Structure 1
Amino acid sequence: MNVLLRKTGNSTVITIPKQIKELLGAEVGEEIEFVTSEDTVIIKKAEPKFDFDKELKKAMQQYDGLLKDLVDK
């Protein structure tokens, strides 16, 4: 499968075909990784990075009622 390199501003971009996006299991907004070796490039879904603040916020929302009950005791 071939895709065309395009110019957008100061960047060169490619469009990832729908079939490849689905094969990767990637969604818009997620990171992909380019792994290079000599003249070969492998495109793969990047491992998600642990976001402490995001996980803390999620836990605080999940346990909000419980935490408030503990404070009130």
Structure 2
Amino acid sequence: MTTVKFQLEPLTCPSCIKKIEGKVGKIDGVEEVKVLFNSSKVKAVYDADKVAPEELRTVIEKLGYPVVA
């Protein structure tokens, strides 16, 4: 398993957490996803043979949460 972290623009509502975790968590190959509201970070543990970090980033950004790092 591989871990990736994304820094998002500041999150404005706690419901953002469920939205991101729910969508990213359903991606085939994602083992675990955690959104840290106070620091606006997303940490995902995934199988690099099944999914690329760029795919995770794309899903997060399509939800309306720009990744800044």
TM-score range, shorter chain: under 0.3
Q: Relative CO higher for 1 or 2, CA cutoff 8 Å, sep ≥ 6?
A: 2
Give the alignment's TM-score, normalised by structure 1.
0.23
Q: Choose between structure 1 and 2: higher helix proportion.
A: 1
Give the alignment's TM-score, normalised by structure 2.
0.24
